[in-house]
Amino acid sequence: MIMETAVENKYTYKDFESDQEVRWCPGCDDYVILRSMQKALPEMGVKKEDVVFVSGIGCSSRFPYYIDTYGMHTIHGRAPAIASGVKLANPSLSVWVATGDGDAMAIGGNHFIHVLRRNIDLNIILFNNEIYGLTKGQFSPTSMVGQKTKSSPYGNTQPPFNPGELALGAGARFYGRISGNSPKDISQMLIDAHHFKGTSLIEVLQNCVIFNDGCYSNVTNKDVKEDKLIFLEHGKPMIFGKNRDKGLVLSNLKLEVVTIGENGITEDNILIHDAKEKDPTMHQMLVRLEYPLATGIIRSYNDLTLEEREAEVTKQVKANSKFKKIDDLFFSGETYKVE
């Protein structure tokens, strides 16, 4: 984690609580994400007035109302486009998008892939509860096949997106996945996302206690978590398990789980995670892995942002331009006088 030193006023999480009563269902993971954000913000070294949260529509999209910074609660699916406008208008702002699985990948799918492609320096928190919460329980583009919901009483027949796979396919430079019940890790990932230059996408596996309770419990419950999830860290071996004795190796172009100490396997055989690699092939394999489910920052590839590319072009155009003010343009070229 890089610390910015120049900021004198040290905030606490309380500085980021708005005066609005939080209205999510008791027990909803959205509370965890909110608090993780409020705790992460003072660590980022940003000024409160320079932070903007933009959201679409959904339970998760209520997020901006609860944080005492600038914020916009907009329309369903469009937050990435609106946030892009905020950032392009004023690149010095720290811009965040709060979005749900339906908001981002159903109605807003187009904006979602394009914002990732362009690599504008903003941060997207995807609250993936594999359901439409606000409209009371229809299947979403991440719901599993067979899942019974209000709009699929006999079981969902539409195969889902894997958000990480979609994001990497769209060219995402930063993608992290994190369990909704691990506030400290969420905070740290938010801080890392903030410092990353480019679009960062954080998918939070968010439990909806009302309409899809327990959708992640087989991997995120305390007692199974360490065995079912792998927490990836750049530069470190891909090891997991309660006893830290399981690891990932590459075998026949596939990731395979091995046990350290068995069949002559030592830690040296285990793959080292390279989040910064440009080629996303390994990152794609990791996001597709079902056992263990990959969490942590899977990809964090440094690339030019759209603002940087724009600024460079603009600088050149300015240097070569003969126009200093608008009148220069108006009176340029073919003009004629009428007396």
Ligand X SMILES: Cc1ncc(C[n+]2csc(CCOP(=O)(O)OP(=O)(O)O)c2C)c(N)n1
What is the closest distance, in whole angstroms, from the C-beta atom of residue 277 to ligand SF4 in the complex? 35
Residue 101: name its binding partner from another protein, Mg ion, ligand SF4, none (Cβ under 5 to 8 Å by kind): Mg ion
| Piece of 123-131, 258-266, 288-296, 308-316 that binds ligand X (CB under 6 A) | 123-131
Q: Which residues bind ligand SF4 (CB under 6 A)?
A: 24-25, 28, 30, 59, 129, 133, 208-211
What is the closest distance, in whole angstroms, from the C-beta atom of residue 133 to ligand X in the complex? 3
Q: Which residue in 64, 71, 80, 100 binds ligand X (CB under 6 A)?
A: 100
101 binds Mg ion (CB under 5 A): yes
The answer to whether the CB of 105 falls within 8 A of the CB of 161 is: yes
What is the closest distance, in whole angstroms, from the C-beta atom of residue 96 to ligand X in the complex? 16
In 15-115, beta strands by DSSP E: 51-55, 70-73, 94-100
106 dihedral zone (left: phi>0; alpha: psi -120 to 50; beta): alpha
- Side chain identity at 57, as an amino acid letter? I
Q: How far apart are CA 49 and CA 70, in angstroms?
A: 7
In the bound state with ligand X, the residue whose beta carbon lies nearer, of 150 and 278, is: 150
In the bound state with ligand X, the residue whose beta carbon lies nearer, of 59 and 306, is: 59
Q: Which residue in 49, 223, 268, 290 binds another protein (CB under 8 A)?
A: 49
In the bound state with ligand X, the residue whose beta carbon lies nearer, of 59 and 178, is: 59
In the bound state with another protein, the residue whose beta carbon lies nearer, of 291 and 330, is: 330
Give helix 183-195 / helix 29-44 axis angle, nearest 10°: 50
The answer to whether the CB of 133 falls within 8 A of the CB of 60 is: yes
The answer to whether the CB of 232 falls within 8 A of the CB of 298 is: yes
74 binds another protein (CB under 8 A): yes
Residue 68: name its binding partner from another protein, ligand SF4, ligand X, none (Cβ under 5 to 8 Å by kind): another protein
SS3 56: coil
Structure tokens at 179: 């369990």
Q: Which residue in 32, 44, 54, 59 binds ligand X (CB under 6 A)?
A: 59
224 binds another protein (CB under 8 A): no
What is the closest distance, in whole angstroms, from the C-beta atom of residue 102 to Mg ion in the complex? 5
116 binds another protein (CB under 8 A): no
Q: How far apart are CA 93 and CA 338, in angstroms?
A: 49
Q: What contacts 24+ positions apart, CB below 8 Å, involve 138-141?
A: 140/100, 140/101, 140/102, 140/105, 140/106, 141/101, 141/102, 141/105, 141/106, 141/109
What is the closest distance, in whole angstroms, from the C-beta atom of residue 47 to another protein in the complex? 8
Residue 293: name its binding partner from Mg ion, another protein, ligand SF4, none (Cβ under 5 to 8 Å by kind): none
Residue that has been written with the tokens 């359901």 in this structure: 131
Q: How far apart are CA 64 and CA 42, in angstroms?
A: 16
What is the closest distance, in whole angstroms, from the C-beta atom of residue 23 to ligand SF4 in the complex? 8
307 binds ligand X (CB under 6 A): no
Q: Which residue in 101, 192, 203, 307 binds ligand X (CB under 6 A)?
A: 101
The answer to whether the CB of 134 falls within 8 A of the CB of 59 is: yes
243 dihedral zone (left: phi>0; alpha: psi -120 to 50; beta): alpha
317 binds another protein (CB under 8 A): yes
Q: Which residues bind ligand X (CB under 6 A)?
A: 57-60, 76, 100-103, 127, 129, 131-135, 140
Q: Which residues bind Mg ion (CB under 5 A)?
A: 100-101, 129
